[in-house]
Amino acid sequence: MKKIFILLILLSLSLCTTVFASNNSSLTIQFRNIDNKEFVYPKGIVIGIYNNQDKLITSITSTGESKLEYLGLPLNSNYYLKEISTIPGYKLNTNKVSFWYFGGTTTFSYYMDLEVETGKFNLTKVLDEGSLTTYESNVSFSIYTEENILFKKILTNDLGNASISLPYGSYYLKQDEKYLNYNIPSIYNFTINSNNLNVNKTLTDYKEHTIINNTYDAASEVVSPKNDDNAQEEINVTNVPNTLNNSYLLLSLISFLVLNIYVKKNI
């Protein structure tokens, strides 16, 4: 009786450490960073599904999506998951996770922890105000994977800086809100890998209608007077004294006086 009791205890402990799943639903796997438990979205990691005789039943490959899904395992059997191959930026996970697949409607989900190789992205955010450059604080940015999955949001500090550690991969950065009277910066694409461990980027908000990359909106351009020493001054005719008419009258008067004196002398 004592031996049976011990066997029941061992069986209970075994079941507590085994993950149970059911048919008629999806087997889903999500990947997490082993250090901080944040989700990562690797593309190309191959996961094997094995039976309890260590026979490979099938393999599935991560696609960069938020979940890896599989349907169609035989019922009422024991299985385990194990990583078969990894990709640059992730170390091979040799741990196994066991589960018992039985009839029902519940969904089995597994978080596979990966040892992630990371790099660092450093952002500086400034406002261009002509001769003055202002560092912009409390600006929110979203970082997306190349599969358009939101990975993380970051916020600039009082010095306009924000830094984040990222797993190897390709990303793009997008400012969440537009600053009043300033153009929002373009989306910035970048890659973290063994040859590019530290990415530094300064993003600048320019005032609206400012010439950027030799392009501008001509309809909204404000043209200032040009200071050109060689430029001819425009003459306003209405403000020029009528010197021609005055000279003509004076000449007529002088001619009349001369003629009058001549006539008097010859009488």
The pLDDT of residue 174: 94
Q: Which of 48, 12, 20, 31 is nearest to 105 (CA)?
A: 20
For residues 65 and 108, give the distance between their C-alpha atoms in angstroms, rounded to a whole number: 18
pLDDT for res 134: 85
User: What integer pLDDT is reported at residue 207 of this predicted model?
Assistant: 75
Residue 202: Cβ within 10 Å count = 13
Please tell me whether the overall predicted TM-score, pTM, comes out greater than 0.85 for this model: no
- Residue 39: is it exposed, middle or buried by C-beta count within 10 angstroms (0-12/13-18/19+)? middle
**Residue 263: predicted pLDDT:** 57
Helices (H) and strands (E) in the chain, counts: 2, 18
pLDDT of residue 102: 66
Query: DSSP 3-state assignment of 188?
Result: strand
Token reading at 222: 């404000």
**Secondary structure of 31-78 as H, E, C letters:** EEECCCCCEECCEEEEEEEEECCCCEEEEEEEECCCCEEECCCCCCEE
Give dist(CA 145, CA 255) in Å, integer: 97
**CA separation for the pair 38, 51 (Å, rounded):** 29
136, 203 in Cβ contact below 8 A?
no
Question: Looking at residue 198, what is its pLDDT?
Answer: 94
DSSP state of 182: B
Instruction: Give the DSSP H or E segment for 140.
Output: strand 140-145
Structure tokens at 194: 């063994």
Q: What does the pLDDT read at residue 255?
A: 66
Question: Taking the mean position of all CA atoms in its chain, how far away is CA 48?
Answer: 34
- Residue ranges of the chain with pLDDT lower than 70? 1-26, 102-107, 209-267
Sign of the torsion angle spanned by Cα atoms 177, 182, 183, 185: negative
Please state, in angstroms and as integers, the Cα–Cα distance from residue 153 to each residue in 120, 139, 157, 162, following that order. Answer: 14, 10, 13, 10
* Cα–Cα distance measured from residue 122 to residue 112, given in angstroms and rounded to the nearest whole number: 28
